């Protein structure tokens, strides 16, 4: 889980990473940095092979392409954040253990508890594991405060540091599951929410549906007005979804100009009604450049709908919505297609 390279190695990987970002004219976002750092370190073999193939073929590598690589090959995408948190935890644990060793009497049992926590840190896999360690450390520091008055002032600092780290963990979790451009949930967050809805659907026998949406002629917008305008358009679509969906619905950026809306406890008819609201709003909206007021015109979208079938995976329901969306694009765009209306398996 942790990066184990020395400081000199880490420095070299950092130098290479920044060089790759500059070479491919990429912004220094967390996603771009993580992908190229893993490429430079050589620890993610599949990612390295995929990028090497792209470079050999001289294919483009823009921000969207790198994000796709991140989603596909960095299955443990949270590990950069978790590694940083574990470094702080280890430093705190070492400091607390030193305090305990310096004392005498009935604090020896707490020293054993701290040693056990140190052992547990070698097998951390996700945010829940980190939360568990933090909670145990908080409990132990409280017990030490009660047992050793002499350490109270020094231990209070560590206890407050742990509480602050707990807050950082919550923020990091949210950031790791949020698309940095639009502020919507990213694919990682979507996958976790889909799993929750699958469990709920099985337990309550209640339907849920997904809408896959792709912005029509988005490449033409980028080519004509530039990628900054394209990014602004993506943010505009994200705002539309955020204002339209219910509190328990989930709007996510699926990748590039594709979005996915998850509608719990909603059948295909309900999903169609939401899609029609989006389509109608887009038909009435005129997009303009914010700075100059230059008219871009109407930007519409193609949408595909699928209702979850008990027993299928989250990827399977998304694939069905994706097929319906591509049918909408291939039959004229600016339309909504329901997967169950297709003659597809």
**Residues designated catalytic:** 257
Tokens 């547990």 correspond to what residue? 120
338's tokens: 């329901």
For the beta carbon of residue 214, count every other beta carbon within 10 angstroms: 20
For the chain, state the CA radius of gyration: 25
189's tokens: 């967050």
Burial of 305 (0-12, 13-18, 19+ CB in 10 A): buried
User: Chain-centre distance of CA 289, in angstroms?
Assistant: 29
CA distance 294 to 292: 5
Q: What is the DSSP string of 195-246?
A: HHHHHHHHHH---EEEEEEEETTHHHHHHHH-HHHHHHHHHHHHHHHHHHS-
C-alpha distance from residue 226 to each of 25, 196, 287 (Å): 14, 38, 15
Phi-psi region of 265 (alpha: psi -120 to 50; beta: other; left: phi over 0): left
């Amino acid at each position: 889980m942790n990066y184990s390279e020395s400081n000199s190695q880490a420095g070299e990987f950092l130098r290479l990473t920044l060089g790759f970002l500059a070479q491919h004219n990429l912004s220094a976002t967390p996603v771009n940095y993580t992908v190229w750092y893993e490429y430079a370190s050589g620890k993610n073999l599949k990612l390295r092979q995929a990028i090497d193939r792209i470079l050999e073929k001289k294919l483009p590598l823009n921000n969207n392409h790198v994000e796709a690589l991140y989603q596909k090959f960095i299955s443990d995408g949270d590990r950069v954040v978790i590694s940083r948190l574990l470094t702080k935890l280890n430093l705190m644990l070492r400091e607390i253990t030193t305090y305990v060793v310096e004392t005498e009497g009935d604090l020896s049992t707490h020293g054993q508890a701290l040693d056990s926590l140190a052992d547990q840190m070698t097998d951390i896999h996700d945010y829940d594991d980190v939360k568990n360690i933090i909670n145990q450390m908080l409990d132990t520091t409280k017990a030490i405060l009660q047992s050793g008055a002499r350490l109270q002032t020094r231990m209070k600092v560590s206890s407050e540091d742990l509480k602050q780290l707990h807050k950082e963990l919550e923020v990091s979790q949210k950031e790791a599951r949020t698309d940095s451009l639009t502020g919507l949930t990213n694919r990682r967050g979507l996958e976790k929410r889909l799993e929750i809805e699958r469990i709920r659907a099985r337990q309550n026998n209640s339907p849920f549906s997904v809408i896959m949406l792709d912005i029509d002629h988005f490449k033409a917008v980028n080519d004509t007005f530039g990628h900054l305008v394209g990014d602004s358009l993506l943010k505009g679509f994200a705002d539309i979804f955020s204002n339209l969906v219910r509190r328990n619905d989930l709007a996510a950026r699926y990748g590039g100009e594709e979005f996915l809306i998850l509608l719990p406890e909603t059948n295909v008819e309900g999903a169609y009604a939401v899609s029609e609201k989006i389509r109608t709003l887009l038909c009435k909206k005129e997009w303009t450049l914010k700075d100059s007021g230059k008219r871009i015109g109407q930007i519409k979208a193609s949408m595909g709908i699928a209702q979850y079938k008990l027993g299928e995976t989250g990827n399977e329901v998304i694939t069905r919505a994706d097929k319906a969306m591509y049918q909408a694009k291939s039959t004229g765009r600016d339309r909504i297609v329901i997967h169950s209306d297709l003659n597809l398996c």
